[in-house]
Structure 1
Amino acid sequence: MTRFALLGAGAVARTIATGLASAGRPVVVGSRRNLAEAAAYGDVVVNALPGDVSVAVLAGLRDELRGKVVVDVANAVRVDERGFAAELLYPDSSLAENVQRVLPDSQVVKALSTMHASLMARTGGEGVSVFLSGDSAAAKDRARELLTGLGWESRHVADLGPLVTARWAEGFVLAVRPVVEVLGPVPFGWGVVRSG
């Protein structure tokens, strides 16, 4: 059975770890003290670290992550005075592409970055989609194992293509402030509604 590891111990990591554990999937969470051990444990490793430190921290785990699928769910931004994303740290690239650059022996897949953390473990309802970006079809299949463990059905998953398309997905975070200003602080995510 595929073993999952979460790097990070915040709300995103807790939500994903709880969802996987509830589905009976083997999972560990790596905090500052045991990131290397967690990375070594997982067959599929989820980057749930803060986006602004992800590249530096993951570069230090290159050996532990060699040959593994790394699912990047983080967003790397500079925040404004209210704590909302004001601009992307990698405006001409993406966090996912920079993670792939420092982990050349891993396969990076972008996923789950277009929704509030509370929606990542699917509990039902319609409207929210998961978007996958990655250069390896096999790696995206492993990322789908993660999504299945979290309760996502294939009809809610859209493969955008190569890793460069993560640039679009990472732009989601810039929509949070204007949406919250209109709707209030309600959890939301992007979705594709198919007609016909």
Structure 2
Amino acid sequence: MTTIAVLGNGRVGGNLATSLALAGHEVTVADRAPGEAGAAARTAEVVINATPGAGSLERLAALREELRGKILVDVSNATTDGPDGLPADLLYPGSSLAEQLQEALPETRVVKTLNTMLFPVMTAPAALTEAPTVFLSGEDPQAKQTVRDLLADLGWHPEWITDLGGIRTARATEAAILFVPHVIRSTGFTPFAISIAR
């Protein structure tokens, strides 16, 4: 059992929290109430950033002490939105939210994952007709192994998990968010994920 704090109680955070709790982990969900995120992070082994990406850096940088030594799993994408509310452009072109978080939180082990799919796939990958791929980016091998174990608890088979390397590789997966609005406009809000076919 892992003690997990999920920051963000929207569709992504709520979905992850419910599934991880059902898998036997001790899960706390923190919303935007003052002090709640810090209290949750302080007592957790793993913190999941499921806050809206545009404000994640500011929110999490304020928790530097609470996140010291923790594993921070970043599942958000930092974008500016178009008129229809869907992602239109990257907030950190030439970088990534994960890189910005790692720079702001040097004593926190940041791992980027689960950001290349619609949220229902995060906890039900086997529901897709084809095997999806989930990516890992981060500097700490032990932290990435912990995240691998959590992904397994969410239904991700080992062969569906691809470790891309260091945190800089997160800029590639975060850029994949630019596919999403076009796919949704083309086929509707049907769960999908990026998959590496071999």
Could you state the TM-score of these two structures normalised by the residue count of structure 2? Answer: 0.94
Q: What one-letter code is carried by the residue in structure 2 that aligns with 1:116? A: L
In structure 1, what is the Cα distance between the partners aligned to 2:30 and 2:186?
A: 36
Q: Distance in 2 between matches of 1:103 and 1:123?
A: 30
Point out where structure 1 has 5 or more consecutive residues left out of the alignment: none
In the TM superposition, what is the alpha-carbon distance from 1:8 to its structure 2 partner?
A: 0.7
Matched, 1:189 2:197: no
What's 1:118 paired with? 120
Q: How many residue pairs end up in the alignment?
A: 194
Determine helix, strand or coil for the equivalent of 1:29. strand
**CA RMSD after TM alignment:** 1.1
Q: Please point out which of 47, 52, 55 is paired with 2:54.
A: 52
The residue aligned with 1:11 is 11
After superposition, where does 1:19-168 map in structure 2 within 5 Å?
A: 19-33=19-33, 34-122=36-124, 124-125=126-127, 126-168=130-172
CA deviation string 1:116-166 (max 9, x = no partner): 111111252432111000011111111112212212121110000111000
Rounded to whole Å, the distance in 2 between the matches of 1:5 and 1:151 is 20
Q: What is the rounded CA distance, in whole Å, between the counterparts of 1:90 and 1:59 in structure 2?
A: 16
CA distance in 1, matches of 2:140, 2:177: 25
* Distance in 2 separating the partners of 1:135 and 1:165: 10
Assess if the C-alpha contact under 8 Å between 1:100 and 1:106 holds in 2. Answer: yes
CA distance in 2, matches of 1:105, 1:123: 32
Amino acid at match of 2:78: A
* Aligned counterpart in structure 1 of residue 179 of structure 2, from 172, 175, 180: 175
Matched residue of 2:163: which SS? strand
Q: Which SS does the other structure have where 2:132 is aligned?
A: coil
Identity %: 45
SS at 2:126 equivalent:
coil
Whether the aligned pair in 1 keeps the contact of 2:125 and 2:131 (CA below 8 Å) is no
- 1:145 match: secondary structure: helix
Equivalents in 2 of 1:145, 1:136: separation in Å?
Answer: 15
Which portions of structure 1, spanning 4 or more consecutive aligned residues, are displaced by more than 4 angstroms?
none
Judge conservation of contact 2:125–2:155 (CA < 8 Å) in 1. Answer: yes
8 Å Cα contact 1:110/1:163 also seen in 2? yes
In 2, Cα distance between the equivalents of 1:97 and 1:112? Answer: 16
Q: Distance in 2 between matches of 1:59 and 1:123?
A: 31
- TM-score, structure 1 normalization: 0.95
One-letter amino acid of the counterpart of residue 71, structure 2: V
Structure 2: stretches of 5+ with no match in the other structure: none
1: CA distance, partners of 2:132 / 2:104: 31
